[in-house]
Structure 1
């Protein structure tokens, strides 16, 4: 049996705070909360979640891995505004302004993108 993705792990200074931010962004729940680990996901039976682990050092460079989020085209502007109101901020990582995505960062500076939804092909 091949390996399966279990958690995406995000290093954090404020585990509960960052977990709450991402749970609100994604409409997920906090599934477990311990001193050195907070896990969020859509529900306890979901195959993949996000795990927040403590880190002492400060984030210094652009992420080597980031999340791409999407929604309907009609909701995109409102969703970006909602996420900004939750504590995200715009980030410049060298975009030209012509991209099909918007780069944001969570409250601890982890970049993520809100991308245009995929087009559905009608055959």
Structure 2
């Protein structure tokens, strides 16, 4: 038996708004699904991101999160904060990565640039 990682599912109160926000962050196209979900189409070889509507809000730290590798960490952190992300402290201390949260509070990291 073989499995393929096809979708990363993300719960959201406002799937349209959150998917649109991540679409702008990542530069991936968003598509509405017939069932009210929204899909971000990832580049070949990466899983699509599927935004699913849920009634409850986020209440605790994520158990899974995305790490994003930029060409220029400082520029990307500033750009993403300008789009509506916020810095969060999850007890990480001083690190080479920056922990941010999207508009619904989901944590993600922007790593140091790799050269």
TM-score, normalized by the shorter chain, greater than 0.5: yes
Identify, as 1 or 2, the structure richer in strand.
1
Aligned counterpart for 2:108 among listed residues 112, 115, 120: 112
Secondary structure at 1:8's aligned position in 2? strand
The corresponding residue for 1:68 is 67
Q: Give the deviation of 1:19 after TM superposition.
A: 0.2
The aligned counterpart of 1:84 is 81
Aligned length: 115
Q: Is 2:91 the partner of 1:94?
A: yes
Q: 1:23-42 to 2 correspondence within 5 Å?
A: 23-42=23-42
By how many angstroms is 1:58 displaced? 1.7
Q: What secondary structure sits across from 2:20 in the alignment?
A: helix
- Scaled by the length of structure 1, what TM-score is found? 0.85
CA RMSD of aligned residues (A): 1.7
State the alpha-carbon separation in 2 of the partners of residues 47 and 106 from structure 1: 20
In structure 1, stretches of 5+ residues that fail to align are: none
Following the alignment from structure 2 to structure 1, what is the Cα–Cα distance between the partners of residues 17 and 33? 11
Gaps of 5+ in 2: none
Q: Is the 8 A contact 1:23 1:40 kept in 2?
A: yes
* SS of equivalent residue, structure 2 residue 110: strand
Residues 15 and 34 of structure 1, relative CA distance in 2, 3 Å threshold:
farther
Q: Which of the two has higher C-alpha Rg?
A: 1
Over residues 29-77 of structure 1, what are the superposed CA-to-partner deviations in whole Å (9 max), with x where a residue is unaligned? 013344520001236x6652100001111211000000000112xx211
> Counterpart of 1:23 in 2: which secondary structure?
helix
